[in-house]
Structures are given as C-alpha cells and as structure tokens.
Amino acid sequence: MKIVGVAVPEELLSKIDEIARRERNPRSAVVRRILAEALEKFENGGAYDDKFNSDI
C-alpha cells in the first residue's frame, strides 16, 4: 500500500471524522472506502462533482 497525502477543507474533514466515529474505524480506513466507492461510481459512468475542487 502506498501513502497519499491530501489537503481537504474543514467541512469534508468534519464529515469524515463523524463517519469514522460512528463506524469506530480509523480516519484512513474511512477515506480509503469513500475513495474506492467514488472511483467505482466514476468508472460506472457516474457524474463527477467538483464541489470541493476550488484549487483545480
């Protein structure tokens, strides 16, 4: 497994931390799962939402 560093807005981090708390999982596990789900959706023709991509 490789390490990827990413900066996220406070709003996203708060949501990620809430999910981690509810699931009793580490933040990193939650981020990996959410990323995997988003990639699967994208690969299956899902829409791309750039709501949090203000720096791109």
Residue 47 has pLDDT above 90, yes or no: no
φ, ψ for residue 38 (rounded to 5)? -65, -40
Q: Hey, how many other C-beta atoms are within 10 angstroms of the C-beta on 16?
A: 16
Degrees, nearest 5: CA angle 30-11-33: 15
In Å, how far are 2, 15, 22, 53 from 11, measured between CA atoms?
25, 6, 17, 13
Residue carrying structure tokens 């596990």: 29
User: Residues 21, 10: contact at Cβ < 8 Å?
Assistant: no
Domain ranges of the chain: 10-43
Provide the pLDDT confidence category of residue 56 given band limits of 50, 70 and 90: very low
For the full predicted model, state whether its pTM sits above 0.85: no
Chain segment 31-46, per-residue pLDDT in tens:
999 999 988 988 888 7
**Is the predicted pLDDT of residue 3 greater than 90, yes or no?**
yes
Query: pLDDT, tens digit, for every residue of 10-36?
Result: 999 999 999 999 999 999 999 999 999
